[in-house]
Amino acid sequence: MIPHRLTRMRRGATAPFMEDMSSLWETLGEAAMRRIAVLAGFMALSACINVNAPAEPIVIELNINIKQEVLYRLVDSAEQNIEANPEIF
């Protein structure tokens, strides 16, 4: 890949610079900004990462983790169940 370098140094960060994006445009100039855009485009193309899916499926066992949360929310209904059916508890 061809190394790219900005032709002009960027001015140090000042309060108005940081607040207003239009000043960035003025500082670097339209041509420089366009070059940055082109460079970003090249980087996006060259930075493609191939992800190979694993041969075995990923199994996440959530049953145990979820259970405790589920139990907490069932307490009220379980207590009502005892009141509604006292003969079986």
Residues that bind another protein (CB under 8 A): 67-68, 70-75, 77-79, 81-89
CB of 62 to another protein, least distance (A): 13
Phi, psi of 2 (to 5 degrees): -75, 130
Phi, psi of 13 (to 5 degrees): -70, 125
- C-alpha span between 66 and 53 (Å, rounded): 27
Please, where are the H alpha helices in the chain? Answer: 15-19, 21-46, 63-84
- Nearest to another protein of 22, 85 (CB atom): 85
CB of 75 to another protein, least distance (A): 5
- Nearest to another protein of 19, 69 (CB atom): 69
- Nearest to another protein of 56, 76 (CB atom): 76
Yes or no: say if 14 and 21 are a contact pair by the CB < 8 Å rule. Answer: no
CB of 82 to another protein, least distance (A): 7
